[in-house]
Structure 1
């Protein structure tokens, strides 16, 4: 299997040009020519996977309270910005498949819901992405979530997320049978990049919003970046270059 890995990945759907983690953002990224989008998946009180970054609703919706304590009936009526609804994971997958987008699905469990979230996302992913031309890439900061994804959806590639890459990062990736390393652009060392290159592991950096920063990272050997600046890095107006993961 080969997983297409474009250099530019639209962060939280449409970056800064659309309400985050919405179908409108995914549509916008596709319209601008992006081949990949990233979004976050959390569980409702009813156990339904949906697109949401924060554990609480206030920043990104007109709702209040904790996502994990709010029912589907309430969540799916909320305004996530510009009249957009909070989308279910299944809706986002259908849209990505429609546009042949690579989806970086970040499992974003609310505190205490790591296992339930990972199990729901992994099981749904197997069904929703079955026979997809472009498979997804599941990632998470939660190593427990990635262990569960490995066991329940071994056929779906995984990426490990770190803010600061630890010394034993390669051992962690090997244990989780992950194929990509994701980390904050700040603090990424040449030693980590050299070790990743020696082991043919692509490094993906977040969140890169300037051409200068992106260019420097690519010259150092970073494979892809997550960006909010879709206006700067739309493929038709940037030095877009498609890359591929081996395998």
Structure 2
């Protein structure tokens, strides 16, 4: 195994995205309450360099704001409602900062997969900021996070800042030169869409020593099948206690 970190088999996707508004503190608390030991979430950057937990490049889908995040300062978005779109029960839920999230994870004793999700053209800048934050503020009581991204540029930049990071290379489809890419970014885990996973693919990846994490698996029967094939972990919108 290329990583000694014990990765749980079930990781809450964007917290517990099926039960609470994604990428919010409430969603992380919900995942813990259900029994998840780890969550996954996306980190982006505001125009003025504040790291926040958000998936989309636009504010429209998950907040009552609108427009491109890349052009917004933190002051303009910190009071947006990031919960009502999901349910009125979560009205006035706020977009959390990465700093705030790290603190809550420490309190909850909740491990994490931190996905670098840069706005276009911010691949290096955002990765460097995230790596520095992890290096300086990650709680001592938590296992080291996995830092993943679809952006290999981001992974290279993050690893340069903090060589001890556990890097997860994210792929929608496994490219023919995946081994070369994984070595270049010093990946220790490979993350794939569960729909492309086959026994042959798993044998190929495991043959190189990489644990395989698959997204987004919302059916426990499917998850169990993937575990039988050799998948190490699944990301799910509906985490369950193992």
TM-score tier by shorter-chain length is: over 0.9
- SS of the residue 2:40 aligns to: strand
Runs of 5+ consecutive residues of structure 1 not aligned to the other structure: 241-247
Contact 1:118 1:146 in 2 (8 A): yes
**1:29-48 correspondence runs (5 A):** 29-48=31-50
Q: How far, CA to CA, are the matches of 1:2 and 1:193 in structure 2? A: 19
Runs of 5+ consecutive residues of structure 2 not aligned to the other structure: 84-89
After TM superposition, give the deviation of residue 190 of structure 1 in Å.
2.5
Q: How far, CA to CA, are the matches of 1:222 and 1:178 in structure 2? A: 16
Contact 1:165 1:188 in 2 (8 A): no
- The answer to which of 34-43 and 68-77 deviates more is 68-77
1:76 corresponds to: 78
2:173 corresponds to: 164
After TM superposition, give the deviation of residue 200 of structure 1 in Å.
2.3
- Answer yes or no: is 1:205 the counterpart of 2:198: no
2:137 corresponds to: 128
- SS of the residue 1:179 aligns to: strand
Q: How far, CA to CA, are the matches of 1:133 and 1:221 in structure 2? A: 26
1:111 corresponds to: 120
Q: How far, CA to CA, are the matches of 2:42 and 2:61 in structure 1? A: 15
After TM superposition, give the deviation of residue 115 of structure 1 in Å.
1.2
**1:212-227 correspondence runs (5 A):** 212-227=221-236
What does the per-residue CA deviation read over 1:142-168, in whole Å, with 9 as the maximum and x for residues that have no partner? Answer: 000000011011112110000011122
What does the per-residue CA deviation read over 1:77-130, in whole Å, with 9 as the maximum and x for residues that have no partner? Answer: 111101210000011111111222211000000111111111111111111116
- SS of the residue 2:6 aligns to: strand
CA RMSD of aligned residues (A): 1.3
1:24 corresponds to: 26
Give every structure 1 segment of 4 or more consecutive aligned residues whose post-TM-superposition deviation is greater than 3 Å: 130-133
TM-score norm. by structure 1 comes to: 0.91
2:87 corresponds to: none
After TM superposition, give the deviation of residue 38 of structure 1 in Å.
0.2
Q: How far, CA to CA, are the matches of 1:215 and 1:136 in structure 2? A: 24
2:188 corresponds to: 179
- Answer yes or no: is 1:149 the counterpart of 2:149: no
